[in-house]
A and B are shown apart, each in its own frame.
Chain A
Amino acid sequence: MVRLSTYYLSAILALAIGAFTLFSPALAQTPAPSATSATVPSAAPAAATPAAAPAAAPADRPNKPSDVNDGDNAWMLTSCALVLLMTIPGLALFYTGLVRSKNVLSVMMQSFIASGLITVQWFFFGYSLAFGHDAVSSTTSPLHGFIGNLDYAFLQHVSSFSPEGTQKLSYGNTVPHMVYCMFQLMFAIITPALISGAIVERMKFSAYCVFMLLWATFIYDPLAHMVWSHDGWLNAHGALDFAGGSVVHMSSGFSALTLALILGRRKRSDGGEELRPHNLPFTLVGVALLWVGWFGFNSGSAINAGQLATSAWANTHIATATAAVVWLLWDWFIYKKPTALGFGSGAVAGLVAITPACGFVTPVGSVLIGTIVASVCFFAIRLKNLVKADDALDVFGVHGIGGLTGCLCTGLFSVLYINSAAGRNGLLFGGPFAKTMVPQLMDAGMTIIMAVVGTVILAAITKLICGGLRTDDEEEEMGLDLTDHGESGYLLEGAGTGMSPA
């Protein structure tokens, strides 16, 4: 029964991909209907200068309109790669080091499969639901601003040659629409992968895949639309979220806690079972990759390589370093030892909290945000015990609470001269409460409600499709590497490695 559902799942997915591939010629990428990109590829000799009109552009760059800035595009391409690096191998290593050795591959796969499945979903309809024109075009309708239509399904009208939309209303005036789409894809990948930290060592792989696809479609895509789309509901209400504090971190953190509660605890996780991390060096390498990759995540969210990107870069690093040091000090003070995991956890908490704020605050704000979030999260990771949730890797404590802290701090510390798009100074710099904190609270509230309610519904649907969410007790005991994937992460030294001495 359980196995059958897995086969059905694979079969449906394979058929879907096959069918869409057949139709794809009809839906082949067409240039966006804007004037700049409608130029036919030029056969002009390569001698023409890049500054010349598109019709005379070099043959190796057909269609390159003058409004695409190669410098900005180079940074965005780099940022895309950096953000992917956060998930694979960054998050995969960060998480898998914290579990037992019998589940090392299972946990890594939860990050890797996200990179695969979400990309396919993004191509089919995910990008369009999140960033397409609003499904309800009437701006007066109460349903306006919640989800995109299917204009960009199969990435049609997503041009690799010209920016999206018009100069005044665009996801990036100086970079091709496609690079924005790919950049956002990397965010869509890491967000459901973050949830996996709460459900490790006990959720069936098939159920995880189904849940992740549903979650990406019905929670992430609408949230991204509400916050980042031109006509998004929260965008219109003035909530500040530079790089995805609520869309990415709060949504995944609160969903993670909810899903952990629905799944139940791991066997013998109340003590009696050795649940200590099996490889903290993996975890620290993961933290380092997340830290480095986050420069793409935050600084890339400027969608150009200009001053704002620089500001976001510096804020990201300063807040992260501060949070890591502050968490370590708490560790030292409370538990008498400055732990490596404490430093790493602080760094991630700092990265999470600076995410919404990095394009709006000064370095002073960053130091304050780093200090606040490390202090809040250091204690918040115990909250899960109040509700007896086995949020194994503290996704809620770090991403949920850290994201909420960052969201509110953005309302407090934002400064107009860093980013005029904010429209006003933060509460501490004279901004009115109604215009600084209220939008942030609405943003947080909407995110939490969608994450919690959505997760309850989607988990129930997943349970129906997959015949249960959890592996059975015996499989859990043997480890998911063996029972879900038929592999082992580690072999006995010398055995089967071909390296035994002659």
Chain B
Amino acid sequence: MVRIEAIIRPAKLDEVKTALDEAGVHGMSVLDIRGAGKQKGYTQHYRGSEYTVNLLPKLMLIVVVPDASQELVISAIADAAHTGEIGDGKIFVTPISEAVRIRTGERGETAA
């Protein structure tokens, strides 16, 4: 099993969800996050006081899938979240050693 974390543009969530659906992945967690990367922040003015916002709002999408689905899921997310501009986001993959479905006690890939 692998855990795939994708940091994406908030506006791309619907497209990524649809792509994951088509790839057979129906379960996911989505988190509101803020982060910094190559994309520069922006400047806000509150009554003339200037605030530079470096941490930009992004979404983090987490799915846990069998090893075999890894490449399919990665390309589904990457294609759907792609715009070609700086700030499209990143995908991280980490191995998962165990998964438990709390309701039934199932373990392993069927639980994920």
Contact = CB atoms under 8 A, between A and B. Distances in A.
Interface of A: 274-277, 331, 335, 337, 339, 341-342, 345, 378, 381-382, 394
B51 A276 contact: yes
B105 interface: no
Interface in B40-67: 44-49, 51
A500 B73 CA distance: 33
Contacts of A378: 48
Interface string B16-43: 0000000000000000000000000000
Max count, chain A CB within 10 A of own CB: residue among B46, B48, B49? B48
A337 B45 contact: yes
Contacts of A394: 47
Given A331-B45, A335-B48, A337-B45, 4 more contacts: A274-B51, A276-B46, A341-B47, A342-B47
Contacts, number: 22
Contact of B45 (A274, A275, A339): A339
Nearest to A276: B51
A335 B44 CA distance: 9
Contacts of A337: 45
A382 B51 CA distance: 15
A216 B23 CA distance: 70
Interface residues of B, number: 7
Contacts of A382: 48
Contacts of A331: 45
B47 A381 contact: yes
Interface in B71-101: none
B112 to A, nearest CB: 24
A335 B45 CA distance: 7
Contacts of A342: 47
B46 A277 contact: yes
A381 B46 CA distance: 11
Contacts of B48: 335, 378, 381-382
A378 B48 CA distance: 8
Contacts of B51: 274-276
A276 B49 CA distance: 9
Contacts of A274: 51
Q: What are the 8 tightest A-B residue pairs by CB atom distance, in nearest-first order?
A: A335-B45, A276-B51, A345-B47, A381-B48, A341-B46, A381-B47, A341-B47, A382-B48
Contacts of B44: 276
Contacts of B49: 275
B61 to A, nearest CB: 20
A220 to B, nearest CB: 27
B44 to A, nearest CB: 7
Nearest to B53: A276
B57 to A, nearest CB: 14
A415 to B, nearest CB: 33
Nearest to A382: B48
B92 to A, nearest CB: 26
